Amino acid sequence: MNKLPSLIAAAAVFLFSGSALAQDTPKYSYVEAFKPFFYPQTGTETRSASGQPGHAYWQNSADYDLNVSLNDAKNEITGTAEITYTNNSPDRLSFLWLQLDQNLFAKDSRGNAVVPPSGSRNGAHGEELDGGYKIKSVKLDGKDVKYTISDTRMQIDLPKELKSKGGIAKIKIEYSFTSPEYGSDRMGVEKTKNGKIFTVAQWYPRMCVYDDVMGWNTLPYIGASEFYLEYGRISANITVPANHYVVASGELLNYKEVYSKEENNRWEQARNSDKTVMIRPESEIGKNQASGTKTWKFKIDQTRDFAWASSSAFILDAAKINLPSGKKSVAISAYPVESAGEKAWGRSTEYTKAAIEHYSHKWYEYTYPAATNVAGNEGGMEYPGIVFCHMNAAGEGLWGVTDHEFGHNWFPMIVGSNERLFAWMDEGFNTFINELSTKAFNNGEYYKKQDIAKSGGFMMGDNIEPVMVGPDNMKERSIGVLAYFKPGMGLQILRETILGPEKFDKAFKTYIERWAFKHPTPWDFFHTMENVSGEELNWFWRGWFMNKWKIDQSVKDVQYINGDFKNGAQITVENLGQLPMPTTVQVKFKDGAKQVVKIPVEVWKRNTEWLFNINSNKEISEVMLDPDSVVPDVNPKNNIWPSAQTKPVEKINTKDFAGTYGIASDPIKLVFSDKNGQLYLKAGNQPEFPLEYTGSNQFTFNEAGISLIFSKDKKDLVFKQAGREYKFTKE
Query: Is residue 612 one of the residues assigned to a domain?
Result: yes
Q: How far apart are CA 203 and CA 205, in angstroms?
A: 7
Residue 161's pLDDT is 98
218, 72: one domain = yes
633, 688: one domain = no
82, 137: one domain = yes
Q: Name residue 600's beta-bridge partners.
A: none
Give the count of domains, the chain: 3
Q: Counting Cβ atoms within 10 Å, is residue 228 exposed (0-12), middle (13-18) or buried (19+)? A: buried
Q: What is the pLDDT of residues 454-474, one digit of tens each?
A: 888 878 888 899 999 999 999
Query: Is residue 374 one of the residues assigned to a domain?
Result: no
Q: How far apart are CA 246 and CA 309, in angstroms?
A: 6
* Nearest to 209, CA basis, from 136, 153, 170: 153
CB atoms within 10 A of CB 348: 29
80, 155: one domain = yes
Query: Is residue 426 one of the residues assigned to a domain?
Result: no
Residue 42's pLDDT is 83
Report CA-CA distances (Å) from 365 to 410, 437, 501.
9, 15, 20
Contact 333, 349 (CB under 8 A): yes
112, 200: one domain = yes
User: Does residue 617 sit in helix, strand or coil?
Assistant: coil
Q: How far apart are CA 151 and CA 138, in angstroms?
A: 17
662, 631: one domain = no
Q: Phi then psi for 81, rounded to 5 degrees?
A: -115, 120
Q: How far apart are CA 399 and CA 397, in angstroms?
A: 5
Q: Which residues make Cβ contacts (< 8 Å) with residue 444, sequence separation at least 6? A: 438
Q: What confidence category does residue 649 fall into, taking pLDDT thresholds of 50, 70 and 90?
A: low
Q: Which residues make Cβ contacts (< 8 Å) with residue 368, sequence separation at least 6? A: 249, 250, 300, 303, 329, 384, 385, 409
**pLDDT higher for 701 or 131?**
131
208, 108: one domain = yes
566, 691: one domain = no
Q: What is the pLDDT of residues 129-179, one digit of tens each?
A: 999 999 999 999 999 999 999 999 999 999 999 999 999 999 999 999 999
Q: How far apart are CA 519 and CA 10, in angstroms?
A: 55
Q: What confidence category does residue 700 fall into, taking pLDDT thresholds of 50, 70 and 90?
A: confident
Angle at CA of residue 418, ends 478 and 158, nearest 5°: 130
Residue 666's pLDDT is 80
- 84-93, 269-278, 443-452, 584-593: least confidently modelled range: 443-452
User: Does residue 154 sit in helix, strand or coil?
Assistant: strand
Q: What confidence category does residue 25 fall into, taking pLDDT thresholds of 50, 70 and 90?
A: very low
Single residue among 645, 670, 695 that ends a domain in this structure: 645
In three state form, how does the secondary structure of 168-236 look?
Answer: EEEEEEEEEEECCCEECCCEEEEEECCEEEEEECCCCCEECCEECCCEECCCCCCCCCCCCCCEEEEEE
Amino acid letter, 236: A
Q: Phi then psi for 280, rounded to 5 degrees?
A: -130, 95
CATH code (residue 67): 2.60.40
Mean pLDDT of 213-239: 97
In the predicted model, is pLDDT for residue 16 greater than 50? no
Report CA-CA distances (Å) from 723 to 356, 396, 557.
64, 61, 22
616, 676: one domain = no
Mean pLDDT of 324-339: 98
* Separation of first and last alpha carbons in the chain: 20
Residues above pLDDT 70, as percent of the chain: 95
Query: Is residue 41 one of the residues assigned to a domain?
Result: no
Q: What's the chain's Rg over C-alpha atoms?
A: 33
123, 206: one domain = yes
Q: How far apart are CA 127 and CA 179, in angstroms?
A: 11
Q: How far apart are CA 199 and CA 246, in angstroms?
A: 10
CATH code (residue 582): 2.60.40.10
635, 715: one domain = no
Single residue among 585, 619, 645 that ends a domain in this structure: 645
User: Does residue 500 sit in helix, strand or coil?
Assistant: coil
Query: Is residue 250 one of the residues assigned to a domain?
Result: no
Residue 644's pLDDT is 65
- Structural domain of residue 162, as residue ranges? 58-188+195-230
Question: Can you list the alpha helix ranges (DSSP code H) found in 419-556?
Answer: 427-440, 456-459, 479, 486-493, 501-515, 522-533, 538-540
701, 579: one domain = no
Query: Is residue 516 one of the residues assigned to a domain?
Result: no
Crossing angle of helices 501-515 and 522-533, in 10° steps, is: 130
Query: Is residue 224 one of the residues assigned to a domain?
Result: yes
Angle at CA of residue 130, ends 79 and 64, nearest 5°: 20
CATH code (residue 711): 2.40.128.50
Mean pLDDT of 630-641: 92
Q: How far apart are CA 174 and CA 147, in angstroms?
A: 13
Q: Name residue 500's beta-bridge partners.
A: none
Query: Is residue 370 one of the residues assigned to a domain?
Result: no
Single residue among 645, 662, 690 that ends a domain in this structure: 645
Mean pLDDT of 432-446: 97
Task: Cis check for the bond before 412: say yes or no (omega within 30 of 0).
Answer: yes
Q: What confidence category does residue 703 fall into, taking pLDDT thresholds of 50, 70 and 90?
A: low
Mean pLDDT of 583-597: 96
